[in-house]
């Protein structure tokens, strides 16, 4: 079982925060996107290349469990793994940390679409990489 995932770091900027210098809740989805994008890049298939080959991975579901707030200037660690891969969808799992403190957990589910926005099976070049990482 490989499932090593990716670790990416991100520093909370002032623009991410509300008036109390707490990262706004919607920004956790942005952190998830950063983690997912970097995981794909680490696996050797940058998302740009997926799109250039005519495939798109829009989110169809998102879930976030907020545990502790991220604050302005915190250095966050985004851990991203692949939860599952099916014929035409996949799930990415995330954990956001500040040092050893877990701040949030969640996931996003993505469909695989072609250029005509039709749901299609994952192409072999992507399916192989995702299944290998997710097993």
Lowest mean pLDDT among 11-20, 108-117, 123-132: 123-132
Q: Are 82 and 3 in contact (CB under 8 A)?
A: yes
Does the pLDDT of residue 1 top 60, yes or no? Answer: no
In this predicted model, what pLDDT tens digit does every residue of 3-29 receive, in sequence order? 578 999 999 999 999 999 999 999 999
Q: Where are the domains of the chain?
A: 6-134
CATH T-level fold of 6-134: Thiol Ester Dehydrase; Chain A (3.10.129)
Number of H helices and number of E strands within the chain? 3, 5
Place 135 in a pLDDT band, splitting at 50, 70 and 90: low
In this predicted model, what pLDDT tens digit does every residue of 50-74 receive, in sequence order? 999 999 999 999 999 999 999 999 9
């Amino acid at each position: 079982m490989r499932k090593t995932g990716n670790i990416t770091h991100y520093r909370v900027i002032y623009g991410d925060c509300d008036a109390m210098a707490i990262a706004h809740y919607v920004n956790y989805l942005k952190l998830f996107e950063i983690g997912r994008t970097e995981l794909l890049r680490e696996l050797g298939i940058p998302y740009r290349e997926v799109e250039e080959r005519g495939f798109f991975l829009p989110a169809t579901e998102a879930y976030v469990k907020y545990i502790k707030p991220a604050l302005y200037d915190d250095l966050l660690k985004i851990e991203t793994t692949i939860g599952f891969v099916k014929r035409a969808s996949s799930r990415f799992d995330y954990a956001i940390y500040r040092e050893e403190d877990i701040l949030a957990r969640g996931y996003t589910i993505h469909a695989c679409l072609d250029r005509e926005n039709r749901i299609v099976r994952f192409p072999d070049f992507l399916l192989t990489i995702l299944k290998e990482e997710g097993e």
